[in-house]
Chain A
Amino acid sequence: MNQQSATNPSGRIAAQNHFRTLRLGTPFQPRIDALARTRDWYNWAGYRAPHSLWDEELEYFAIRSQAALFDISPMTKYRIEGPDAEALLNRVTLHDVTKLKPGRVHYTAWCDDEGFVLDDGTLFRLSPTRFRLCSQERHLPWLLDSAVGFDVIVEEETEAVAGLALQGPTSFAVLRDAGFAGVERLKIFDLADFPHDGGTISISRTGFTGDLGYELFVPAGKALSLWDRLMTSGELRGIRAIGYTALNRARLEAGLIVANADFTTAEHAIRADRLRMPDEIGLGFMIDLEKGHFNGRRAILEARAKRKLRHVLVGLEIEGNIPAEHAIVYHKKAQEVGLVSAAMWSPMAKRNIAIASLARPYGDTMVEDLWVEIYAMRELQYQKLMKRAKVVARPFIKLDRRTANPPADF
């Protein structure tokens, strides 16, 4: 195991000035600032990130009709490298990492010893011995502590590596026209290195939109040239930079969950009843009980055997068209059984959709007669609506173009 040692005093002292900039810019910030007509910022893990750039609704349609460029640099990134990297990650995460081949990506999650989810994220296998783990929250102590006894380096590389999500039907064409030769060979969840600006970037066919799309990771110093390269080649393909609101809509249609929005991560849950096991937030499918021991395995097995799983995360389809954001879910309009964590009218599905956490057996074996109470504020009055909710499978939309091979050239 290799720990990051404390920096030397001169480096440390040089870094003092951070207190003057509470919200950092990402390596793409000069370009984003130039496009930010709404100046509508939010704090993403200490970075100044856009809610919207010019119009959140039109930004959403850019994802679904053309190609949308979204800055994912603030996402936490760890480089995990060494002869035991695979073994460590197999111990820490739920999926069987030995089945993740170099050049592949999978969506995964990891738990504490009690089986409660610490976070979900994507694991990129860059080579037989090198991985990149991306997540919402920060986990360096957990990873370093887990790495004791493994021959592996764990390094936080959030600032050193910039990231872009290029999502939408023309995203493949944009990349091909930008000259990333061979990008057409990437199937969903494939990953490959490509030359860029005298260096190398990685491109994976992944994303958070349920659409055809790619994620690009680039050393911070080459970020702007990558942005310009994509924007230039995408000009005739309708490429637009977007903010989080649009992306959040796309991810909800794709049925994807967000840590600390749809569930509370274990290291942040102050109230013990907010902790969630993978089976309680729809991530049970990741659990590979055959692969040997992993963190939380015993607790998960016991919870399954003793039926101690108390919650379930479900997709809901709600009658009408009023979004049910943070609405309470009822059984028979009377008994409170859960809460909606995300909701919207889906333009792609033409349905009123939501993600909700329910107390079992509701949402699990009892799915009839569920209702949501929507408090819609209209001109300083709540219009209270009790609407029928139906448990439905996620994703809410399924786009053939997401997985089509070769990717369509629009």
Chain B
Amino acid sequence: MKAWDAIIIGGGHNGLVNACYLQRAGLEVLVVEKNDWVGGAATSRELTPGFLYSNCSYVCSLFRPEIMRDLELPRFGLQVISYEGGAVFTRDGDYLANYRDHDAHRREFARFSKRDAEAYDRYARDVTRQCRFIQPLLMRTAPDPTSLRPRDLGELLYLGKKFAGLSAEEMALTLRFWTMSISEFLDEYFETEVIKANFALSGIIGTALGPMSPGTAYVLLHHYMGEVDGSVGAWGYARGGMGAVTKALAASFKASGGTIRTGAEVDHVLVRRGKAKGVVLAGGEEIYGKLVVSNADVKRTFLKLVEEKELPDIFLRRVKNFKIRGSSGKVNIALDSLPEFPALPKDSPVYRGDMHFTDSMERMERAYDDWKAGRWSADPFLDMVIPTTLDPTMAPPGKHFMSCFVQYAPPKIGGREWTDADRDGFAESVIAQIAEYSPGFRDRIVHMEVRTPREIEAEVGLTEGNIFQGELTFDQLLFNRPVPGYAQYRSPVGGLYMCGSSTHPGGGVMGAPGRNAAAEILRDLAKSTSHMSPAHDVI
């Protein structure tokens, strides 16, 4: 019977990145995907005629340009378009915008506080410094601090040298940054609520923590270390929705000879004598492979796809305790015209950026309070974009696709499963908030896709609907991601690897976990990695 060189479980962006690199190294690679389409959480689906949704992830910045280039993604249709920064609407009928132009940005902040307007440069400098420290780590395998292998020692030394290269002040700032709350971090620079709320949102997105929880400053950094074509920190829309990323990856994979089977849900990994031998599909079909790579999150992989008896106790316990809590939902809306926001001038570039309604740290924290109580936020935090203002491919002319990322949404409602009625209530909290700032909004709605953690887990397979496959807190980063001792994409089961966002350097449509896992696999196979670009220099 045929045995593939590698079987990738899950056709999300990391699974496909991993598959592409392995196939290009000369392996015969099969991707098995349970849905009838590939993409995982980076998909664009037409759920109502004429409208493409970015169903889960919706903006692009983190996806590594080295990967786009190695895998020739532009040739397969990937285009990322930078957009103007957005705004936070305030409850007094105003808004705070983020303009790309440095001086416009300052003047905008000065409308609220001249002091905060002039504090921005120092803030930007400090955040940039931290990004520059972390960026080079994204495309390297984290060292195992307990190992004495030369490679691990070398990597530890690299980390140590980088850290030692910092001044005493920077070192202190780095340690604080990795552990403190975004609220406290922003207090060191700004005094105005709406300005703090404007920056704090990057610290909570995708995280089951509030802006006042320790660890959220790092989450902000995670959202700043991307780029659009060298413009570090910038965000863009993938033309054709985020599915364009995985569509290009799938096309690149197939062009290099790879095989994708959709509608093929893996029931479990075939393990013989402690070694992965392939996968068994839900229908019972066995597919054999010399190695198996899981794009699924670490919980799904080891608690659902591998039998417990195959795993060491401590590993199993740590996987069970890995924090991968559901905290967000998504509402995708087809609109028959561009919504109007009376607070916003009609010619404002904000329409083309990300819009928010949470104008104080307290509102943001209160939204989190609801999550802790097992409710969706009555006054949710929204990250709302209308990509069709820049991307003509997602809706007919004059019509629009609006993406609303919604936080907080708990994995369970008061301890029980979400119901359809809950889902509708959750959607209403979102629509009501938008309608408050945009009269007539409801009348423009043509169709809506509402995704609570229940829908995201059921369709995409993300445990609890956690978008990062595990929270980005310091205890779950670098050599501790996903669990100590297994941060180098390998697992206790021989021949079974991990390549999803549960691994270093974590979530977001970055592709680095998939790429780094491929490098480790090829190293184990003693194959060349010359087709993999090293990380771009940070100079």
Contacts and interface: CB of A to CB of B under 8 A. Distances in A.
Given A19-B97, A19-B349, A140 B104 contact: no
Interface stretch (B165-173, B213-221, B305-313, B421-429): B165-173
Contacts of B122: 141, 267
A138 B121 contact: yes
Interface string A1-21: 001101101001101111110
Contacts of A18: 104, 107-108
A45 interface: yes
Contacts of B101: 22
Interface string B108-123: 1001111111110110
B47 to A, nearest CB: 35
B273 interface: no
Contact of A140 (B97, B118, B166, B347): B118
A6 B112 contact: yes
A348 to B, nearest CB: 34
B280 to A, nearest CB: 52
B94 A46 contact: no
Given A22-B101, A22-B104, A138-B121, A13 B115 contact: no
B343 to A, nearest CB: 8
B349 A4 contact: no
Contacts of B93: 9, 13
B192 interface: yes
Interface in B49-106: 92-95, 97, 99, 101-104, 106
A114 B116 CA distance: 23
Nearest to A43: B103
Which of A4, A13, A23, A137 is packed against the most chain B CB atoms within 10 Å? A13
A270 B125 contact: yes
A359 to B, nearest CB: 18
B129 interface: yes
B345 A17 contact: yes
Nearest to B121: A267
B318 interface: no
A272 interface: yes
B111 A141 contact: no
B166 to A, nearest CB: 7
A3 B345 CA distance: 30
Contacts of B121: 137-138, 267-268
Contact of A270 (B104, B114, B117, B128): B128
Contact of A16 (B94, B113, B167): B94
Nearest to B90: A9
Given A4-B113, A6-B113, A22-B101, A139 B170 contact: no
Given A9-B94, A19-B99, A19-B104, A267 B125 contact: yes
Given A16-B94, A19-B348, A114-B169, A268 B125 contact: yes
Which of A15, A22, A23, A141 is packed against the most chain B CB atoms within 10 Å? A141
Contacts of A13: 93-94
Nearest to B119: A141
B107 A3 contact: no
Contacts of B106: 46, 138
B114 to A, nearest CB: 5
B132 interface: yes
A301 interface: no
A23 B99 CA distance: 13
Contacts of A114: 169
Binding site of B, secondary structure by majority: helix, strand, loop or mixed? helix
A162 B354 CA distance: 37
Nearest to B129: A270
A35 interface: no
Interface string B216-238: 00000000000000000000000
B347 A20 contact: yes
Contacts of B118: 138-141, 156
A385 interface: no
A210 to B, nearest CB: 30
Nearest to A8: B92
A45 B103 contact: yes
Interface in B378-423: none
A7 B111 contact: yes
Contacts of A12: 94, 111-112
Contacts of B112: 6-7, 12
Contacts of B102: 46
B111 A22 contact: no
Interface string B163-188: 00011011000000000000000000
B189 to A, nearest CB: 8
A144 B111 contact: no
Nearest to B92: A9
A316 to B, nearest CB: 26
A269 interface: yes
A140 B125 contact: no
B188 to A, nearest CB: 10
Interface in A358-389: none
A20 B132 CA distance: 33
Interface in B221-269: none
A12 B132 CA distance: 35
Given A9-B92, A43-B103, A140 B348 contact: no
A20 B116 CA distance: 22
Nearest to A156: B114
A206 B125 CA distance: 33
Nearest to A155: B114
Nearest to B539: A271
Nearest to A138: B118
B512 to A, nearest CB: 23
B115 A144 contact: yes
A20 B129 CA distance: 32
B115 A19 contact: no
Given A7-B112, A9-B94, A272 B104 contact: no
A6 B132 contact: no
Contacts of B108: 18-19
B103 A22 contact: yes
Contacts of B192: 6
Contacts of A140: 114-115, 117-119
A252 to B, nearest CB: 26
B345 A16 contact: yes
Contacts of B115: 3-4, 140-141, 144
A158 to B, nearest CB: 10
A19 B117 CA distance: 15
Interface in A61-105: none
Contacts of A270: 125, 128-129, 132
A269 B124 CA distance: 11
Contacts of B170: 272
The 6 residue pairs across chains A and B that have the minimum distance between CB atoms: A46-B103, A140-B118, A138-B118, A141-B119, A9-B92, A12-B111
23 contacts: A4-B114, A7-B112, A13-B94, A15-B111, A16-B111, A16-B345, A18-B107, A19-B108, A19-B345, A19-B348, A46-B104, A46-B107, A138-B118, A138-B121, A139-B118, A140-B114, A141-B118, A156-B118, A267-B121, A268-B121, A269-B125, A270-B125, A270-B129
Given A16-B345, A20-B347, A138-B121, 19 more contacts: A6-B192, A12-B94, A12-B111, A15-B111, A17-B345, A18-B107, A19-B349, A46-B106, A138-B117, A138-B118, A140-B114, A141-B116, A141-B189, A144-B115, A267-B121, A267-B125, A268-B121, A268-B125, A272-B170
